[in-house]
Amino acid sequence: MRLSEQRVPALVVFHCNGATAADLDSFKKIGDSLNWVIATCHRVRNHRSILTNDSAAVQTIKKLLRFCPVDSGQVFLFGFSAQGVQALASMYLHPELIKGVVTVCAHTGAQVLAEPVTLKKHYAYLVTRSGDWNRIANYELNRDLNLWGVRCTLAITPGEHCAGSWQEVLAGCRWLQKQLRALTQSRQ
C-alpha cells in the first residue's frame, strides 16, 4: 500500500473469524489500485454481540485515523454475511466516523439500530447472489437505505451465498470512489 502525506480513503475489513494481516493479502490489490489504506479489525468476528464488535471496530478506526494518513470523511467498512451486517451496524451507530460500506450477502439484522436522519450523504454498495438465502433481505436493505437518503446500489451476481473475489470488493470501492468524486465536483 502506498502512503503519502495526502489523506486518502480507508477500507476496514471485517472477517468472520477475526481478520488478520494474512487476510489482507487479497485486499492489498484494492489498496494498491485505488491508493487507499486497507486495515483489518482482528477482534470483530462472528458469534459476538454487535455492540462488542462495534466497540472493537471504533477503536480500530480511531487508531487508523491517528496513525495513518486517512481522510476522516472517507472511512469505509467491508463485510461478508454476518460481518456485512456488522459493517452496517457500525455505520448506523457511528455515522460521524463511517462514511459507507461494501457488503456481500448481508441481511437486515442491524436495521433496528439505524437512525435514518443521520445517514444522509452516506454510501452503501450491496452485493447479493441470485441463489443467496439473504437475497430478499438485500432488496429490503437497498430499499430502506435509499429511502433514508443513503446513496445505495445493489449488485446481483450468479451463485449462492459466498464471499466472492477481491475484484467484487474492488468494484464496490470504485463505486464509492466515484460517488465521492461526484460529490466533490458538485461542490465546486
Q: Which pLDDT value is given to residue 4?
A: 54
All 3 cell numbers of residue 132?
443467496
The enclosing H or E element of 100 equals strand 100-104
Q: What's this model's pTM, rounded to 2 decimal places? A: 0.93
pLDDT tops 90 at residue 149: yes
Structure confidence by residue, pLDDT tens digits, 63-96: 999 999 999 999 999 999 999 999 999 999 999 9
**Cα(53)–Cα(49) distance, integer angstroms:** 6
Instruction: At 126, give phi and psi (nearest 5°).
Output: -105, 140
- Whose grid coordinates read 470523511? 73
**Cα(132)–Cα(156) distance, integer angstroms:** 10
Could you tell me the domains of the chain? 8-187 (3.40.50.1820)
Structure confidence by residue, pLDDT tens digits, 31-57: 999 999 999 887 787 888 899 999 999
Nearest of 13, 5, 147 to residue 84 by alpha carbon = 13
Give the confidence band of 15 by pLDDT, cuts at 50, 70, 90: confident
Q: Which pLDDT value is given to residue 1?
A: 42
